[in-house]
Every structure is written in structure tokens, then in C-alpha cells.
Amino acid sequence: MAYFISVTASIYGWGRHSYYVDKASRTKALKCLFAVVCFWIPGISFMRTTVAVALMRYNNQKWWTWTLWFVIVLQWIVPIGAAIVLFAGCRPLRSFWEPVPSVKCWDKSHTTKWSKFGIGMSYEHSIRITQSSPPLLSAKP
């Protein structure tokens, strides 16, 4: 679904310089991108959770299971925080896709700190799951 929304955003001008995109198309493209982010946030978490659950089958040691559960829990805390920042960061919500003169947003330092934390945790989860994958790759069916 997110792929088709991304394609729609591209049709309306996503990927082109804003100078060459008319205002109505820019608004439609930004609405599509907002919708795509709403799909991507949980989608990445579901993907990593699936890999972590699959890795649990290859080792029954408690430390292995607890480590993977820790990764799963953190993997869902970070996107929940990202969703809060996304939906509560600016009021009214439509300010993400169209200019609103009376927009009220959180201080940029808070959203920047959360973004850096979220990106760092995302990289950390990817590295941890990648390092845990050799049992999955070497296992015989």
C-alpha cells in the first residue's frame, strides 16, 4: 500500500524541485508522504519483530530469548514515540502538507533530539538483528 501511495506522491511532484511543482500538486504530494510515513513507521517494526521472533526458534537459552524480547520491546517504543512526534508535533495537523499561518509546533530541539535518538536506535536494532542472524542463515531445514 505504501508503495502505491509513494508512486502517487511521485506523480504529484515528489522528487522534483518544489519550484517546478504547482501549489495544488505539492499539497497532494505532501499528503501522500504523510500517509506513507504512517505505513512505514509500524511496517519497519513489524518486519524487525518478525525476524526477532524467527531468531528465537534457533536458540532456547534464556539470555538469547531475553535479548530478543528486549529488542522487540525497544523496537516498538521508538516508533510509538515517532508517531507521537508526528501527530502531536504541530497543530493543526494539516500544517504538514499546506502552509498554515497559525501553526503551533514543538520546539525544534525536542524533535531533533527525538529524531537523533530514533535513528540511532533504528541502526542499533538493525545491527543487533544482523549479528544475531548467523544461526538463521546456517540452520538446516
pLDDT tens across 55-88, in order? 888 778 888 888 889 889 988 988 898 889 889 9
| pLDDT for the residue 28 | 93
The candidate with the shortest Cα–Cα distance to 44, out of 122, 101, 112, is 122
Residues of the chain with pLDDT under 70: 132-141
Q: How far apart are CA 46 and CA 78, in angstroms?
A: 13
Give the global pTM.
0.74
Q: How far apart are CA 107 and CA 59, in angstroms?
A: 45
The candidate with the shortest Cα–Cα distance to 72, out of 52, 54, 47, is 52
Q: How far apart are CA 71 and CA 125, in angstroms?
A: 7
| pLDDT for the residue 62 | 87
| pLDDT for the residue 92 | 93
Residue ranges covered by each domain of the chain: 2-138
